[in-house]
Amino acid sequence: MSRERFVKTFEEIRVHFQQIFRKLFGGGKADILLEDDEDILEAGIEIVARPPGKETMSISLLSGGEKALTAIALLFAVFKTKPSPFCFLDEIDAALDEANNERFNLLLREFQKESQFIVITHAKRTMSIADVLYGITMQTRGVSKKIGVKFGEYDEEEEKAAVA
């Protein structure tokens, strides 16, 4: 029973990983494979990735940004297979350059339709897609202050009523 459930879930994650990888990299191919077919519950998992324009290689041979983006693809493949109403992501975009960060943000927006994300980040691009932004500032040396900003639709009538 557990082997059957594992195989079914693994195959779902595998399909989602391949789709999300292509979306994040704008092409290419990726796969996850079991290293041992005899005892699948004890088998290791090999991650194989081929970003566009590169040869197929183990994840250990990718650049730092490519590794991060591949890991994000796998994380979101698991999340898509077993969704949750909310998710915490801590500095997930730290190793990404501007172009990859933009692709990550597009993926995050797609998943926002089904789940709520709390993202800890220093990336301005990721902050720009937030509905609410919380932070800590130090206007006076040694005195921290919490701030929160809620973004939404601008309603001109509401603004006039608030000023009046």
pLDDT at 151: 81
Q: What is the three-state SS of 49-118? A: EECCCCCCEEHHHCCHHHHHHHHHHHHHHHHHHCCCCEEEEECCCCCCCHHHHHHHHHHHHHHHCCCEEE
What residue ranges of the chain are covered by domains with CATH 3.40.50.300? 1-82, 84-152
Please list the rounded mean pLDDT of every run of 10 residues in the chain (164 residues).
88 97 93 84 87 78 87 96 93 91 93 93 90 87 88 66 59
pLDDT, residue 140, reads: 85
Backbone angles phi, psi at 12, to 5 degrees: -65, -45
Q: What is the pTM of this model?
A: 0.81
How much is the pLDDT for 88? 95
Q: What is the pLDDT of residue 83?
A: 92
CATH number of 1-82: 3.40.50.300
- Per CATH, domain 84-152 is 1.10.260.40: no
Nearest 5 degrees, angle CA 86-CA 109-CA 130? Answer: 75
